[in-house]
Chain A
Amino acid sequence: MSITSLVFAGFVLVVLCLYYLLPGKSQKLLLLAASAIFYISWDWRFAITLTLVIIFNFYIGRRLHKLRGQETAQSAGERPKKGKRLLWLGIAINLAALLFFKQSGFFLHGFQALLNRLGFPNQTSALAIILPVGMSFYILQAISYLVDTHQNQIPVELPFIDLALYLAYFPKVLSGPIERAGSFLPKLSERVVVDNQQITESITRILIGLVRKIVIADVLAARIPTNFFSSPAKFSSIELIFWWITYIISLYNDFAGYTSIVRGVSGLFGINLSPNFDNPFFSTSVTELWNHWHMSLSQWLRNYVYLPLTRFMLRFNQSGRFLPNIIVPALVTMVLSGLWHGESWNYVLWGALMGIWIAAERIRTVYRPAGENLANLPPWHAKRIFSWAGFLVVIFLIAIPFKFDIANSFVFWRSLVTNWFLPPSLLGWRLPLIAFIPAFFIDWIQFGKHDELIFIRWKPIVQSVLLALCVLIIFLALHAEPAQQFIYQGF
């Protein structure tokens, strides 16, 4: 059940009607049942994995909660060693499960290469394991739950249904946002009032999401030449730049569109999910980009990898200017981010490049005297424009291994330099250039006012014209290109 399908729209409508007809206590049960139906609609076997993850984490969480109570009662100074051991056990088993499903291909590939050398070709195909959709997202949330429980950020012992909803809640189970347990769980009980304003905001988010996904992302994705990622050497430098920008804009709108839709849907139930994007391409540094791109993952990595690792490093040398203290946490965090995205070496390279660049930016700010704060300058200021252009060039170049395998990443970089004199084929650019218009329009308007819902602050007559145009272009775009699967569901 794709979230852009009419079936999903009908499903949400039915669940909404039942939700507001039922008394408060039954609402959670209904949401859980709806989540189960939604998840099973993808593949019933995935639901078994998710159920096991919920039961396991419920058990560990309850034990952690009990141990915490006992430790508090015994003595405040005594180190809660038992709890910590249990926490690490829980984290390890969650990660092992994720690794088992996610990285099996990575290891099987190497194992097969070894078997090939030994003269046993095609032995591992029978072991192929499919990653349950959304697992990369709900495992991170399960870890968040265990850590937050251990750190006493969840004050009461959690009912099973709350944990199940936290991990399986249907708007976010496929691709997040990755909610922090301590901030999401209260939302289940303290739901916001769904009044006219909340409904308007939610529907606006859904519409923005649909435009991003159907009008921009799908149209762009369908137009990228099929051999672009496998044979970049065949393209001129101009084409490489154009199609790579097209891919990045498509990827961004695909995921931002998804997030916007699910936040809108969840908002109709009175549960506000965290934002994931904040006009990332208006950043002026890679560090800033990661504060605006897939924010829920960035925050998770910062809270559970980067900061603990930095604290750990500081134990050995307390200087904030000590280079390993700057480089190692950034590098490790981004390589892990790469591995989270996929099971191949190109993601490791991508993560390493991102980590190195972020570390370089950090070193620059630590070692150079503080300069002018660019955020305080107007967007058209020369310094800010130069900084922005520089950032775009850097992110354009270092993001290449995200989609190209390692060999083709190098071919891409080389071709970018050598293929300037190949004649570009411009015919295929027409539709992407049209799709860039709404892409740029939405982000520019949102960024200009720092308000993702700026459109509903406009006069009703303008809003109505925009709404009519949205409906029209969504309908038209649906008939321009075949629907594409959400890219982040593959991670």
Chain B
Amino acid sequence: MSKMRKTLQISRPFGKVGILALLWLLFFIGAAEAAVHLKPVQSQLLAPGVGNPNRTFEIQLDRLNTRVDHGEHIDCVFIGSSRVLVGLDPEAVEKAYANITGNDFKCQNFGVLGMGIQGSAGTATMLANLYHPRLIVIGTNFIDFGVGLPDKAIVDSPFVREHSGHINFDGWVTTWSLAFRDYLAEVSYLAIDNAQDEYNYLGYNITKPNGFLPLIGHKTDNMQNWNNLNVHYKITVESTRPVKSILAIKKGNTQILFLEIPLRTSTFKAVPHAAEYRHEFEDGINFVLQGSGSQIWLTQDLNLIPESGWIESNHLNVDGAEIFSKWVGEQLGKSVKDGSLILPEWSQPNP
């Protein structure tokens, strides 16, 4: 075997193609960014994505962004699952609030399909950091504390992490590049392989600009899907941890309110141990909220919703949502008026 010799011999010019490529790269990125900011181009594209596996989340974020971009001050955001998405009409809340207080109160619905308490916590932190609403209402009930809900992916997505205090490259790019956000939406759309998913993906067309999804109709109660779910809703120390992280937001300039979203009476017959879970939910939340200055409004026992107000076992139809939202708006107005709910002054959102 022969002796070793010097094997690295770099000579000039070196890296000319690389430097040129870098310039091209900047040009391509700039051109794409400029193109997607043109209205004719933007009108042809889907609502931008943020790389979140839950498309409703992306649509709701786009709805909120659009309103903020149009200069609206969002005072209040409702966060929660599909029960919030279809059960709280911001317009009805605003009207009822204004009737009591005489003041304007802009609300946005940020209900997301399949989002439990963990997803709500991450979303609330993100929205508080980005938009500084005066009030965040977490719409929830014991079902959101169920084991095995697929909402961890929502909080693990880079964009949510970026705006919840965990700086990361993907989240940074998503925040600053509209072209990248448009790409994420388009590529997720292209990945759809069946008509049902496509319908769901494009379903944002029926969501109002304030994030509310009105459902029309009334179905007789069908509990089949509940019996098939192998989930328990036991409230534990672990499952209430997201509630604590939501309360941490209060240190900023945002008030937090928990609101129980009611369930159809028959749900309590169909879900084994439902009454017990609901009781645990009430006790568990009250225990965590002790001394925090935040409160929970329990609604299940108020029997606010008539039978005609349900679309099925646990979702309100547009009539039920109207009744419930009006009640929420009135309660908010009264509480603010009598000082039992203190709302901070409005502050500028992040650019």
Which residue numbers of A lie inside 8 Å of B, CB to CB? 20, 23-25, 27, 156, 162, 186, 189-196, 199-200, 222-223, 225, 270, 425, 427-428, 430-431, 434, 460-461, 463-465, 467-469, 471-472, 476, 479-481
Contacts and interface: CB of A to CB of B under 8 A. Distances in A.
B21 A464 contact: yes
Contact of B191 (A191, A193, A225, A431): A431
26 contacts: A24-B3, A162-B1, A186-B1, A189-B4, A191-B7, A194-B8, A194-B9, A195-B11, A199-B10, A200-B17, A223-B191, A225-B193, A427-B192, A427-B193, A427-B198, A428-B193, A431-B191, A434-B190, A460-B16, A463-B20, A464-B17, A464-B20, A465-B21, A472-B25, A476-B183, A480-B187
Contact of A480 (B4, B21, B28, B191): B191
Nearest to B186: A480
Contacts of B4: 23-25, 27, 189
A460 B20 contact: yes
B124 interface: no
A24 B5 CA distance: 7
B213 to A, nearest CB: 24
Interface in B170-210: 170, 180, 183-184, 187, 190-195, 198
3 nearest A-B residue pairs (beta carbon): A24-B4, A428-B193, A464-B20
Interface residues of B, number: 37
B216 interface: no
Nearest to B11: A196
Contacts of B170: 479
B7 A270 contact: yes
Contact of B194 (A156, A199, A425, A434): A425
A50 B315 CA distance: 60
A200 B198 CA distance: 44
Given A192-B7, A427-B193, A479-B51, A469 B17 contact: no
A293 B184 CA distance: 35
From A156, A162, A199, name the one whose CB has the most chain B CB atoms within 10 angstroms: A199
Nearest to A185: B1
Contacts of A194: 7-10
Given A196-B14, A428-B193, A460-B16, A465 B5 contact: no
Given A427-B193, A464-B20, A471 B25 contact: yes
A25 B3 CA distance: 9
Contacts of B183: 476, 479
B22 interface: yes
Contacts of B184: 479
Given A427-B193, A479-B51, A471 B7 contact: no
A472 B193 contact: no
Nearest to B158: A479
A189 B2 CA distance: 7
Contacts of B1: 156, 162, 186, 189
A428 B194 contact: yes
Contacts of B7: 20, 24, 191-194, 270
A195 B13 CA distance: 12
A13 to B, nearest CB: 14
B335 to A, nearest CB: 44
B18 interface: yes
B156 to A, nearest CB: 13
From B20, B28, B190, name the one whose CB has the most chain A CB atoms within 10 angstroms: B190
B346 interface: no
A461 B183 CA distance: 27
Contacts of B287: none
Contacts of A468: 21-22, 24-25, 27-28
Contacts of B21: 463-465, 467-468, 471
Interface in B80-120: none
B25 A190 contact: no
Nearest to A162: B1
B8 A464 contact: no
A298 to B, nearest CB: 29
Nearest to B170: A479
Given A20-B8, A425-B193, 10 more contacts: A24-B7, A195-B9, A223-B191, A431-B191, A460-B17, A461-B20, A464-B20, A464-B21, A471-B25, A480-B191
